[in-house]
Structure formats: C-alpha cells, structure tokens
Amino acid sequence: MRESRTNSAASVLASSGSPDRRPRRRRAAAVRVGPVTLGGGNPVAVQSMTNTRTDDVRATVRQARRLERAGCELVRVAVPGESAAAALPAIRRRLSVPLVADVHFDYRLALAALAAGADKVRINPGNIGASWKVEEIIRAAADRGAALRVGVNAGSLDRRLLRKHRRPTPDALVESMALSLEPFERLGFRAIVLSAKTTDGRDTIAVYRALARSWRYPLHLGLTEAGLRFEGAVRSATVMGTLLEQGIGDTVRVSLAGDPVPEVVAAWEMLRALGLRQRGPAVYACPTCGRTEIDVESLARRVRRALAGVRTPVRVAVMGCVVNGPGEARDADYGVAGGKGKGAIFVRGRVVKTCRYGRIADELVREILAREA
C-alpha cells in the first residue's frame, strides 16, 4: 500500500510538471521604448505614472526619480494641456528612464509629446477624434522612432458599441480595439503596445486572453482604478497574476490611489512571486500566533527598511517560533528564528550566531550587507 501511494504521488507530480516551472510566455513582437524592449521574449517590464502636475518640472522629476530608484522601468506622465506638453522637454532631459506621455482628446498634445522626445505616447483612438488625427500621430511616431500604446477603456467606449453590447463587455472592448487598430495597420505601423482596461477582474482576464489570441503586439496589463493601497494591490495581483501565469503580459502597472512608489513595489512582488523577475531582498515573515515570543512584524519592517539599498535578489526569513521557524529560516538565504527574547541568525542554512532580541535586526542586516552589498 505504501508503494502504491508513493507511485501515485509521483505520477501526480509528473503530470502537473515541476512546481518550480515558470509560466510559458506568449511570444509577442518586440517593441522598443527607449532603451527598454517590450515583448520579444524580454522580461516583463514594470511601469508607473506620476501624479504631480506635469508642468511642475521639479516635482515631476523628483517623483519620477523616486519611482526609478524603486525599480520602475518606464515612467508615464499626464499631458492634459499645453503647459504640460511644454514641460516635457525639460523633464526628458533630466531623466534616464524611458518617458511615456499620456494623452487624451487633443492630437496636437501627442504631436508635441513626440517632438519633446517622449519614448512612447499612450492614446485612446476613440477619444482622439477623426481618423486623420490618429494618422498624424502615427506618422510622427514613425518619424521619431517612438512607440504608441493603443489603449481602450471600459469607461470611454464608443456609444455605438455600448448600444450594441449594452455594457462594456470583453467582446465590446475587443471590438473597440479592432476598430482602433485599423489606421495603424493600414499605415504599416507596428511599434504598438495594447491595453484594454476595466475595473471588473473577470472581464479584464477575458479581454486580455482575447487580445493575446487576436494580435501579436505586446500587452500592457493593468486593472484600471484598482483602489486604495491594500485593496488595489490585492485586486491587481489577483487579475494580473492570473494572466501572467498563463504567459500573457509584457509590461505591468499596478494602479493605486496615492503615492505611486508602492505601485512599483507591488509590481515587483507580484513578478517575484511568479518567478518572472527578481530584484533586491524578499523579506518573508511568519503570520504570528500564540506561540510567538518576539515582535515579528516590527522586526521584519526594520530589516526591510535597512535593506532598501540592496539589489541582490536574496530571500530573508523572519520567523517567530520554534515550530516552523528554524526550518524556514534555514531554507532562506538569510533568516532569524526567534523565541523567548532572543533569536538564532541563519546564513544559507547554518546558524552563525545567537543574540538577544534587541540586537536581532542589526546582526541579521550586518550579516547580509557583509555578503551582498
């Protein structure tokens, strides 16, 4: 009986594949956005958007640099009017990260953004107006070697599509995309990234699956208006994680209300969890229970803050009791298993020292920085 159970377990593992396997990526066409290439088998890129007034060059550059330090690989800025467009050349000169301009309604703002050196311009052809205006943007992007993101959104669908489909269904969004792409394909412009956003998670998954089947352009994943920091991160990770696990998605933006830097942190954690990207330390902590005898949350926060400048992708476990703590700490690159006011420091499976609680964070960080900084 024991042998049959073992064989059965082995057959289940064999049929399901290795638990460490990475999602098989959809092979999208490659599109360059400045020094970053989306699609073409390249890593999923992380992006975010400033929420400063774009015509406040100093504030916008300061926030963009904060995003870049957090790991943002493309920074998008809103271009709602002429003063924002006029600020783009100064912003472009001060940034090394690719700059994306977000333009709606006025095609002249898109032309100004391209002339200012934007690496990509995001437009919704449905609100730009006449086809000749979209064609002007396409020609300007082609002349300057810039990319365009063609974005359709559930909140701004053409009234005819809403009458036909009654609501912004996945089919309505895909049909909107097909109509939006007509001038691009007619002019032979291929430096395109697609997005189709809605607040409904299941609809978002359905529409991106359809986009992936219908076109080979890179896909920008996002759940529009996801919400506040905690709720928005959970919703975004649920939806985008599902798609990324299916190999769908070439760049991601986690949309959260407030400071945009946590968007970048959430995106990296999502990609890390799926084995798609690694950047800097991953600090894990036990959820705590009645057996916990040290302040795990405070300790984990102190360790994470102290390691903010480390870029090496290492696993750090902060564990608070003797049940799973030693095993989890031993399995990580670095870890601590705490109990009764003290903790054992682990380095790659080996206890290197034991210290009182007040010294745990400092000693753990010292061991990591000595090897990884």
The enclosing domain of 249 has a CATH number of: 3.20.20.20
Asked whether residue 277 carries a pLDDT value surpassing 70, the answer given is: yes
Q: Which of 238, 273, 308 is the last residue of a domain?
A: 273
Q: What CATH number should be reported for the domain holding residue 336?
A: 3.30.413.10
The two tokens of residue 19 are 């638990």
Residue with the bigger pLDDT between 159 and 69: it is 69
Strand ranges across the sheet with 251-252: 192-197, 147-153, 120-123, 99-102, 74-78, 45-49, 251-252, 220-221
Last residue of a domain, one of 242, 273, 304: 273
Give the pLDDT confidence score for residue 227 in this predicted structure.
82
Q: Tell me: do 52 and 173 sit in the same domain.
A: yes
Q: Is 206 domain-assigned?
A: yes
Residue 5 has pLDDT above 50, yes or no: no
Helix axes 261-273, 57-70, angle to 10 degrees: 20
Instruction: Tell me the pLDDT of the chain averaged across its residues.
Output: 90
Q: Across 155-269, where does the E strand assignment appear?
A: 192-197, 220-221, 251-252
What whole-number percentage of the chain has pLDDT above 90?
A: 72
Q: What residue has token string 């992007």?
A: 141
Domain assignment present for residue 207? The answer is: yes
Nearest to 149 by CA among 219, 222, 230: 219
Nearest to 62 by CA among 304, 261, 269: 261
Same domain for 104 and 253?
A: yes
Q: In the chain, how many domains are there?
A: 2
Residue 162 contacts residue 146 (beta carbons within 8 Å): no
Average pLDDT estimate for 214-236:
90
pLDDT digits (tens, 9 = 90+) for 167-203: 989 999 999 999 999 999 999 999 999 999 888 899 9
First to last CA, the chain: 52
Q: Give the span between the Cα atoms of 148 and 192, in whole angstroms.
A: 5
What residue type is 368 in one-letter code?
Answer: I
Show the CA angle centred on residue 24, arms to residues 20 and 29, nearest 5°.
Answer: 145
User: Is 353 part of any domain?
Assistant: yes
Do 310 and 238 sit in the same domain of this protein?
no
pLDDT score of 3: 40
Domain range enclosing 157: 31-273
Amino acid in the structure at residue 169: T
Q: Are residues 262 and 298 in the same domain?
A: no
118 and 236 inside one domain: yes
**Same-domain status, 269 and 290:** no
- The strand pairing partners of 336, in sequence order, are 318, 345
CB 208 within 8 A of CB 222: no
Q: What's the pLDDT tens digit per position in 78-126? A: 999 999 999 999 999 999 999 999 999 999 999 999 999 999 999 999 8
For the stretch 23-64, pLDDT in tens is 688 999 999 999 999 999 999 999 999 999 999 999 999 999
Strands 36-38 and 45-49, how do they pair? unpaired
Asked whether 327 and 312 are in contact (CB, 8 A), the reply is no
